[in-house]
Chain A
């Protein structure tokens, strides 16, 4: 401990302590979580899914990966989010939405955002004609139930390595 004091100027009190062993310090780093440092941390994503259960489960999965999810149950909700200046880096849309297809919704959302926001479609309809139509519109597609690893790979590629996304022929 130290003390320096000058009349009319003030006093300095000091305490000197030795450094501990930094390797043994606890900086909150014993917790491992994708919500802290996953590759998708803080990435805002717009999810358009009209099935309540699927929307909730997909939201939970994405949030577990640190994603900021903006979930919409239909096109109108999604467009409201877009027009409310919600910034998103990726759109995930179900194909069979109540009023329109996911492909059309993505098209409308991109217009609203004024940008070619990366997007893909998820669908339970594995009809070749449907899949060809989605791919023909330039959108990648995942068949439901989409496995988390496939979802990760596609999202990673769209966000960080667009050159790796398989483009429709």
Chain B
């Protein structure tokens, strides 16, 4: 390198900063894992193109968490810390370890940012804030799906978008903690908004593709709404296909997995009309669209920016915080990593999927609109509906992010209000008499 006076100067490239990422590259969540990996790659490429962290480039190191069991995720954390000496672990989600991985991470004193969407994050962090100073959940806990969903159906009811046949709510849960917590929190919030639990929460052993029995049990209770909080896309697709063999005159809500392309690919026309939501989802505003365009340009049109945005934002947010703190910290550098943690907590960060503002006690993102009513201060809990199984999901709530309106699912009878039934599209499936 030549300096301004023409003298030769030896350029010493600083070693890159190793950043770990625990990702399900194999197993049932491998499709999401592939997108989390892409999100990390794009974030690091963009950050490094701008000079990295105070002149040091980032180097992502991936560890496969397979089926996301406690053993697999803890093993991945230990490998990243002990072998690769990572300064932080930045992820999408790993559901299953129930915070077991927090222990080696807390022992090493590094930063951990994830989107595990788990209630127990709150309990762990608040049980010993000093020890878990570096553990951040960049999305709201699963718990918030419950009151968020209840408010959503109440909003449809109260604004006349849908006239429910009754106040009866049926809840089916998968057997993972995430599904159980969501089901419990729905049940706990229901009565406050005028809903009555008529079924469940009934926990079904998952994964499964066999839903007919529980659908028949639900039918006997004649609900106005049925919610299934299991979250595997394929399993939910079979639920919806079996539901449509003889539909009940009720709204159908399916948890997170129904957002996936796989769901619509399997359920096809049967998917039209279902409601799905996510407490972390790519927005369709200027920021979100710009990200999606860059993501697709980098990885091709088949890539799912709406999933990859999680690790992308988490990495970008971490990098900004580390820069504010004056650098990152290797395992054992508690002092530096505490500075990074303070920067993460003190910053209101507008990601491509809304605002990440860490609650000072929870170290988890605050949800909008359930906790904060200010969209600039919380991450939106987004509700989608499938209007056409060949097209992207329609974002129907909450304001100001929604881009489309609710339509009455095609299997439901028209009952008062201004609802318009969704027109069936694509090839016909078996419909009830």
Does A152 lie within 8 Å of B98, measured CB to CB?
Answer: yes
Given A27-B192, A36-B188, A64-B123, verify A153-B147 contact (CB < 8 Å): no
Asked if B141 CB lies within 8 Å of chain A CBs, one says yes
Given A32-B119, A37-B143, A149-B102, verify A23-B373 contact (CB < 8 Å): yes
Does A34 lie within 8 Å of B158, measured CB to CB?
Answer: no
Residues of B near A161 (CB, < 8 A) are 175-176, 205
By secondary structure, the B interface counts as: helix
As a 0/1 sequence over residues 28 to 55 of chain A, the CB contacts with chain B under 8 angstroms (1 = contact) are: 1110101011110100000000000000
Residues of A near B143 (CB, < 8 A) are 32, 37
Does A29 lie within 8 Å of B184, measured CB to CB?
Answer: no
Does A37 lie within 8 Å of B103, measured CB to CB?
Answer: no
Given A32-B141, A148-B124, verify A38-B151 contact (CB < 8 Å): no
Does B99 lie within 8 Å of A149, measured CB to CB?
Answer: yes
Number of interface residues of B (CB under 8 A): 46
What CA separation (Å) do A32 and B120 show in the bound complex? 10
Residues of B near A152 (CB, < 8 A) are 98-99, 120, 177
Given A23-B155, A24-B373, A37-B181, verify A149-B189 contact (CB < 8 Å): no
What CA separation (Å) do A19 and B192 show in the bound complex? 15
State the Cβ distance, B45 to closest chain A Cβ, in Å.
34
The residue that A39 contacts in the complex, of B100, B102, B151, B180, with Cβ under 8 A, is B180
As a 0/1 sequence over residues 137 to 151 of chain B, the CB contacts with chain A under 8 angstroms (1 = contact) are: 000010110110011
Does B103 lie within 8 Å of A22, measured CB to CB?
Answer: no
What CA separation (Å) do A38 and B143 show in the bound complex? 8
The residue that B184 contacts in the complex, of A39, A150, A156, with Cβ under 8 A, is A39
Residues of B near A27 (CB, < 8 A) are 147, 150-151, 189, 192-193
Closest to A27 in B: B192
Residues of B near A29 (CB, < 8 A) are 146-147, 151, 189, 192, 370-371
Contacting residues of chain A (62-82) with chain B, CB-CB under 8 angstroms: 64-65
Does B119 lie within 8 Å of A149, measured CB to CB?
Answer: no
Given A25-B151, A27-B147, A160-B203, verify A19-B181 contact (CB < 8 Å): no
Residues of B near A28 (CB, < 8 A) are 192
What CA separation (Å) do A30 and B370 show in the bound complex? 7
Contacting residues of chain A (125-169) with chain B, CB-CB under 8 angstroms: 147-150, 152-153, 156, 160-161, 163-164
Does A156 lie within 8 Å of B103, measured CB to CB?
Answer: no
State the Cβ distance, B28 to closest chain A Cβ, in Å.
13
Residues of A near B188 (CB, < 8 A) are 36-37
Does B100 lie within 8 Å of A153, measured CB to CB?
Answer: yes
Asked if B261 CB lies within 8 Å of chain A CBs, one says no
Contacting residues of chain B (88-116) with chain A, CB-CB under 8 angstroms: 97-100, 102-103
What CA separation (Å) do A110 and B41 show in the bound complex? 54
What CA separation (Å) do A64 and B128 show in the bound complex? 14
What CA separation (Å) do A83 and B119 show in the bound complex? 35
Residues of A near B187 (CB, < 8 A) are 37
Residues of B near A150 (CB, < 8 A) are 70, 100
Asked if B154 CB lies within 8 Å of chain A CBs, one says yes
What CA separation (Å) do A59 and B185 show in the bound complex? 23
Residues of B near A24 (CB, < 8 A) are 369, 373
What CA separation (Å) do A62 and B70 show in the bound complex? 20
State the Cβ distance, A36 to closest chain B Cβ, in Å.
5
State the Cβ distance, B376 to closest chain A Cβ, in Å.
15
Closest to A155 in B: B98
Given A32-B141, A160-B203, verify A22-B177 contact (CB < 8 Å): no
The residue that A38 contacts in the complex, of B159, B181, B192, with Cβ under 8 A, is B181
Asked if B327 CB lies within 8 Å of chain A CBs, one says no
What CA separation (Å) do A38 and B203 show in the bound complex? 14
Max count, chain B CB within 10 A of own CB: residue among A29, A38, A160, A164:
A29
- B interface residues, Cβ below 8 angstroms from A: 69-70, 97-100, 102-103, 119-120, 122-124, 127, 141, 143-144, 146-147, 150-151, 154-155, 158-159, 175-177, 180-181, 184-185, 187-189, 192-193, 203, 205, 362, 369-371, 373, 398-399
A-B pairs with lowest CB-CB distance, top 6: A29-B147, A37-B185, A27-B192, A37-B184, A149-B100, A39-B180
* Inter-chain pairs besides A32-B141, A37-B187, A147-B103, 7 sampled, C-beta below 8 Å: A22-B155, A23-B399, A29-B189, A34-B123, A149-B102, A153-B98, A160-B180
Can you list 18 A-B contacts (CB < 8 A)?
A22-B151, A22-B155, A22-B193, A23-B373, A23-B398, A25-B151, A27-B189, A29-B146, A34-B119, A36-B188, A37-B188, A38-B184, A147-B100, A148-B123, A149-B70, A149-B100, A161-B176, A163-B205
